[in-house]
């Protein structure tokens, strides 16, 4: 393992020198590429540097502790220092092991989240609204910025679908395990005989693509103005500020109605399109390495049943890690961070198993 980290450290020093070269510093695109790689290995390089520094101090302390010409008290102090530094280096080795696990390049990105009504009719739409509220409260507690891009509401306040963005630090790393099918078991407000019904919604979490990652040709885009697809407010009903975008090569159709300005909605629609095209590109790549992903918490496939919310028992069960909580009210009020942390830890542990160190 240490040989592997040493090579990373050498690369770190090489990149450091490259960034100081005039030809690199003046080329924005090349500099950004080098900076991205440099940043990605900075932490492990710093840990290794500290480890090497400690190793040097350990060698010096041990030589001193074994020097018969040195006073006994000083030899004892040197031996104690060598022991303490050795213990610190054991911790640094464990930290380096974790840092060597390949990171998801998307973890630092913002996300687009799509929640869609599944089986269960109006009850599923109402549950979709509950889950959107849950994510809204979680984002507020984490200091993330949530922005609704489009929504299709029902007369009872449910959501047939909603698309929103979330911005903040390492948002995708927190949200990526939410992709999949969420089931609810409860007595619907529309049910007169008090019978428990099982309904479902789907959640898709997409890492938001930057403009430089996906090129979209203007000739491939068809823009149309339209009225909002939701019940909406007075402004939406009276104007056609909403935008429908069709991407001819992929057939993707995007609608955005969150802004009062048609120009702003065009920009938001392009933002969603970039992210969807990036997601399609990512899925093509992930299909080629599907065997690797079997050991992870979840593939992000919306057909995968990931969680059940049982109202009669006030229970939330995450099926991927077999975790059950009996705090449904708190969970739906946005207290989902602890479960997300367990999903992240489980995913890390699974990937560590196959890591050659």
More confident residue, 100 or 322: 322
Residue 11 confidence (pLDDT) above 60: yes
Confidence of residue 225 (pLDDT cuts 50, 70, 90): confident
DSSP bridge pairs for 305: 181
- Per DSSP, the residues of 194-242 read ---EEEEEEEEEEEPPPTTTS---GGGEEEEEE--SS---HHHHH---E
Measured distance CA(181)–CA(178) in Å, rounded:
9
Which pLDDT score, from 0 to 100, does residue 129 have?
96
Which three-class secondary structure state does DSSP give residue 276? Answer: helix
| pLDDT tens sequence across 63-79 | 999 998 889 999 999 99
What's the mean pLDDT when you consider all of the chain? 85
Whole-number pLDDT of residue 243: 84
Strand, helix or coil for residue 157: coil
| Higher pLDDT, residue 25 or 236 | 25
| Max CA separation in the chain (angstroms) | 94
pLDDT level of residue 293 (50, 70, 90 thresholds): very low
Q: For the whole model, what pTM was predicted?
A: 0.66
Look at residue 124 and tell me whether its pLDDT is greater than 90: yes
The contacts of residue 7 (CB under 8 Å, 6+ apart) are: none
Task: Measure the CA–CA gap between 257 and 269, rounded to whole angstroms.
Answer: 9
* 315-318: strand order across its sheet: 145-153, 159-167, 111-117, 197-207, 180-186, 305-310, 315-318, 323-325
Checking if the pLDDT of 81 tops 50, the result is yes
Q: pLDDT over 90 for what percent of the chain? A: 51
Residues with Cβ < 8 Å from 143, sequence gap 6 or more? 168
The CATH architecture that domain 218-285 belongs to is 2-Layer Sandwich (3.30)
Mean local confidence (pLDDT), 41-59:
94
| pLDDT at residue 233, as a whole number | 43
Query: Would you state the CATH architecture of domain 111-212+296-352?
Result: 2-Layer Sandwich (3.30)
Quick check: helix, strand or coil at residue 343? helix
**DSSP code per residue over 30-68:** HHHHHHHHHHHHHHHHHHHHHHHHHHHHHHHHHHHHT-T
State the DSSP code for 250: T
Higher pLDDT, 263 or 292: 263
Q: Which of 349, 304, 296, 341 is nearest to 323 (CA)?
A: 341
In the chain, domain spans: 2-100, 111-212+296-352, 218-285
Q: Does the pLDDT value for residue 1 go beyond 90?
A: no
Rounded CA-CA distance 81/321 in Å is: 42
């Amino acid at each position: 393992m240490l040989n592997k980290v040493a090579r990373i450290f050498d690369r770190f020093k090489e990149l450091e020198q490259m960034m100081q070269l005039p030809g690199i510093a003046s080329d924005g695109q090349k500099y950004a590429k080098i900076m991205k790689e440099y940043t990605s290995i900075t932490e492990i390089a710093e840990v290794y540097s500290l480890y090497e520094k400690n190793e040097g101090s350990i060698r010096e302390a041990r030589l001193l502790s074994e020097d018969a010409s040195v006073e006994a008290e000083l030899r004892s102090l040197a031996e104690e220092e060598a022991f303490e530094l050795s213990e610190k280096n054991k911790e640094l080795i464990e930290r380096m092991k974790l840092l060597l696990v390949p990171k998801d390049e998307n973890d630092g990105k913002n996300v687009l989240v799509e929640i869609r009504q599944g089986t269960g009719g109006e009850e599923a739409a109402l549950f979709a609204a509950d889950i959107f509220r849950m994510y809204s409260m979680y984002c507020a507690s984490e200091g993330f910025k949530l922005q609704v891009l489009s929504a299709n509401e029902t007369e009872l306040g449910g959501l047939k679908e909603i698309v929103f963005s979330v911005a903040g630090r390492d948002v995708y790393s927190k949200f990526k395990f939410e992709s999949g099918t969420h089931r609810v078991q409860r007595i619907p407000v529309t049910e007169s005989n008090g019978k428990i019904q099982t309904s479902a919604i789907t959640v898709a979490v997409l890492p938001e693509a930057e403009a430089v990652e996906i090129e979209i040709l203007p000739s491939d885009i068809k823009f149309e103005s339209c009225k909002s697809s939701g019940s909406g407010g007075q402004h939406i009903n009276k104007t056609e500020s909403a935008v429908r975008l069709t991407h001819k090569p992929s057939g993707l159709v995007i609608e955005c109605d969150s802004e009062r300005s048609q120009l702003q909605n065009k920009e938001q629609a392009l933002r969603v399109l970039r992210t969807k095209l990036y997601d399609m590109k990512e899925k093509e790549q992930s299909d080629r390495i599907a065997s690797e992903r079997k050991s992870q918490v979840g593939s992000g496939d919306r057909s995968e049943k990931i969680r059940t919310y049982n109202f009669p028992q006030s229970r939330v069960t995450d099926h991927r890690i077999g975790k059950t909580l009996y705090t449904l009210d708190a969970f739906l009020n946005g207290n989902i961070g602890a479960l997300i942390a367990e999903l992240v830890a489980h995913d890390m542990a699974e990937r560590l198993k196959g890591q050659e160190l």
